[in-house]
């Protein structure tokens, strides 16, 4: 029997957080939500996650700063980054094992689920999933 995979969804838009929460929960994932990078770091102090799904542009603490703090804290979660900006280049190869993929908003839920399932199927697998 496999254990339930734990996912942290980080986005300042509550509608996106709720949609992803519903979709992932319906697929059997244990989902926690955070509205910005700081809240996500607070959640990570209390829990370990298999996957973090985060937006880049957020108030208080953005996704890039959150990733930097995760690195400094020695966090090992894999990450899917979501962005509405097709020209966002601040992720360029700086975290090759951690960032699984970058999704451009809006994206298809079916493609999103395929990526999440692949990213959580084997936590020890460090292969990067290519998706644009």
Q: Which domains does the chain have, with CATH numbers?
A: 6-121 (3.40.50.2300)
User: What pLDDT is recorded for position 125?
Assistant: 40
The pTM of this model reads 0.87
Query: First-to-last CA distance in the chain?
Result: 33
Per-residue model confidence as pLDDT tens for the chain (132 residues): 578 999 999 999 999 999 999 999 999 999 999 999 999 999 999 999 999 999 999 999 999 899 999 989 999 899 999 988 877 776 655 554 678 888 999 999 999 999 999 999 865 443 333 344
Distance CA(33)–CA(23), nearest Å, equals 13
CA quadruple 71, 59, 52, 116: dihedral sign: negative
CA 91, 113, 20: angle at the middle one, nearest 5? 80
User: What pLDDT is recorded for position 90?
Assistant: 66
Contact 123, 8 (CB under 8 A): no
Strands laid side by side in the 99-104 sheet: 30-34, 6-10, 51-55, 78-83, 99-104
Q: Which residues contact 89 (CB under 8 A, 6 or more apart)?
A: none
> How many CA atoms lie within 13 Å of 85's alpha carbon, on the beta-carbon side?
10
Contact 7, 116 (CB under 8 A): yes
């Amino acid at each position: 029997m496999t254990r339930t995979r734990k996912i942290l969804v980080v986005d300042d838009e509550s509608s996106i957080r709720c949609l992803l929460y519903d979709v992932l929960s319906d697929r059997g994932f244990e989902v926690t939500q955070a509205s910005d990078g700081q809240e996500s770091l607070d959640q990570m102090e209390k829990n370990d996650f298999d996957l973090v799904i985060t937006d880049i542009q957020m108030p208080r603490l953005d996704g890039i700063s959150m990733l930097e703090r995760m690195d400094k804290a020695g966090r090992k979660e894999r990450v899917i980054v979501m962005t509405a900006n097709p020209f966002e280049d601040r992720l360029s190869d700086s975290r090759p094992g951690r960032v699984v993929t970058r999704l451009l908003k809006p994206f298809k839920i079916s493609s999103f689920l395929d990526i999440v399932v692949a990213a959580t199927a084997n936590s020890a697998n460090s292969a990067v999933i290519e998706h644009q």
